[in-house]
Amino acid sequence: MTSGGDSAGMNPAVKCAAEYSASLGYEPFLVYNGLKGLIDNEIKRASTVDLSEMMHRGGTLLRSSRSERFFDYKYRKIAHDNLEKHGISMLLVIGGDGSFRALHQFYNDFQIPFAGIPATIDNDIPGTDYCLGVDTALNMIRQNVDSIRDTAHSFNRAFVIEAMGRHCGYLAMASAVTSGADICIVPELEYDLNSIGDRLKQKQSEGNNFFIGIVAEGCNVSDYLTRWLKDSLHMDARLTILGHIQRGGSPTVRDRLMAYKFATAAVDSLHRGEPSNIITYQSGSFGRIPINEVTDSKPHSDKALLELCKPLCH
């Protein structure tokens, strides 16, 4: 099943998990519409037809949802009974920490083992350096920033580009560094507009006629920064909010390959009889951690990336 916000890489992970588990002798099922589908019995046996179009498709073909009913034991019991009707004895969930918490509660209630694959473009799951969908989202941002740079240069404009990221600025930071942005504002770093203004004015005096700023949505400063650039630098400034295009798109090669590696590790964890692990990727290696290490921790920012972005905040 997939749950929470969609991200590219979910579909390849579903395909691999189903095919790999079948090769180990299991009978895989697909849960549609996330937690809601567990309650409403939107569950069917996986077929080759279901899996055949998954490799190149973005989002999640199983669809997703958020379910307030799942917080109620009565509805979790209904979900459990639905699984029993199908003979399902373990679950694999592809999603974020909210989905993992829900399945952990489900395990505590009914002792149905689960494994979790981190999938969120914010890249903010504690314990893992990478979540499915991040590379595809970064490439979507890169493509759009490159296009905006062309028109910024043509019209001597400053552009502020807002990337997703409520509490985590990973997308904005990685995009700012790799697109040659002049400004980066994220929740993790303090910024100084006076210092930024002095730096950009110096660039203007040296002949720079356009500027690019990338901002994480959680900072809530995109509109203000756009007005500030116009007033401080006396140039036309525009705001582009990328929004949900960052979640879509055909998964990149990296996300497809990572999906396969995450999925096989998750199935192996269940096959070994491990009850509630989250699959992780750290320092180039795949591993697993108990769910409580995810729910009881906060995500850690990439220190090297923070250092690269500091000059763009001052």
Instruction: Give yes or no: residues 160 and 243 share one domain.
Output: yes
Rounded percentage of the chain residues whose pLDDT exceeds 90: 92
Tell whether 1 is covered by a domain.
no
* pLDDT at res. 299: 83
Write the pLDDT tens digit of every residue in 26-50.
999 999 999 999 999 999 999 999 9
Whether residue 85 sits in one domain with residue 125: yes
pLDDT in tens, 50-76: 999 899 999 999 999 888 999 999 999
**3 within domain boundaries:** no
Do residue 14 and residue 108 come from a single domain? yes
Average of per-residue pLDDT across 212-216: 98
Residues 117 and 188 occupy one common structural domain: no
**Band of pLDDT at residue 185, cut at 50, 70 and 90:** very high
Number of domains in the chain: 2
Of 40, 97, 122, 124, which residue is the catalytic one?
A: 122
C-beta of residue 159 within 8 angstroms of C-beta of residue 212: yes
Q: Which domain holds residue 172?
A: 137-247
Mean residue pLDDT across the chain: 95
* Residues 206 and 68 reside in one and the same domain: no
User: In the prediction, which pLDDT does 296 show?
Assistant: 84
* Contact present, 174 and 45 (Cβ < 8 Å): no
User: 247, 266, 285: which is the final residue of a domain?
Assistant: 247
With a cut of 90, say whether residue 172 has pLDDT above it. yes
Cβ contacts of 197 within 8 Å, gap of 6 or more: 232, 233
Banded model confidence at residue 149, pLDDT cuts 50, 70, 90: very high
Q: Is residue 290 part of a domain?
A: yes
CATH code: domain of residue 170 = 3.40.50.460
> Of 247, 262, 288, which one is at a domain's C-terminal end?
247
What pTM was estimated for this model as a whole? Answer: 0.95
DSSP class per residue in 229-280:
HHHHHTS-EEEEE-GGGGT-SPPPHHHHHHHHHHHHHHHHHHHTT--EEEEE
Q: 17: domain CATH number? A: 3.40.50.450
Whether residue 294 is contained in a domain is answered as yes
Residues 234 and 141 in one domain: yes
- 21 and 76 fall within a common domain: yes
Claim to verify: residue 122 and residue 143 sit in the same structural domain: no
Cβ-Cβ contacts under 8 Å for 83 (sequence gap 6 or more)? 38, 43, 89, 91, 112
For 311, list phi and psi in degrees, rounded to 5: -65, -20
Indicate if 122 belongs to the active site: yes
Asked if residue 309 is part of any domain, the answer here is: no
- At residue 307, the pLDDT reads 96
Cα angle for residues 17, 275, 291 (degrees, 5° grid): 90
Q: What is the pLDDT of residues 188-213, one digit of tens each?
A: 999 999 999 999 999 999 999 999 99
Question: Does the pLDDT of residue 300 top 90, yes or no?
Answer: no
Say if 306 falls within a structural domain: no
**144 and 77 in a common domain:** no
**CA angle, residues 249, 98, 291, in degrees to nearest 5:** 110
Residue 70 lies in a domain: yes
What mean pLDDT comes out for the span 276-289?
94
Instruction: Give φ, ψ of 206 to 5 degrees.
Output: -95, 0
pLDDT at 173 over 90: yes
What pLDDT sits at residue 166? 85
pLDDT for residue 264 is more than 90: yes
Q: Write out the two tokens for 90.
A: 């373990």
Query: Sorting pLDDT into bands at 50, 70 and 90, what band is 151?
Result: very high
d(CA 162, CA 215): 5
Statement to judge: residues 265 and 124 lie in one domain: yes
22 & 107 share domain: yes
| pLDDT for 297 | 84
Would you state the pLDDT for residue 65? 86
Question: Is residue 314 situated within a structural domain?
Answer: no
pLDDT tens for 235-250 read: 999 999 999 999 989 9
Give the chain's end-to-end CA distance (angstroms, integer): 44
What residues pair up with 176 in beta bridges, in sequence order? none
State whether 126 and 18 are in the same domain: yes
pLDDT digits (tens, 9 = 90+) for 105-142: 999 999 999 999 999 999 999 999 999 999 999 999 99
Q: What per-residue confidence (pLDDT) applies to 274?
A: 95
> Does pLDDT of 183 surpass 90?
yes
At 292, list the tokens: 């409580």
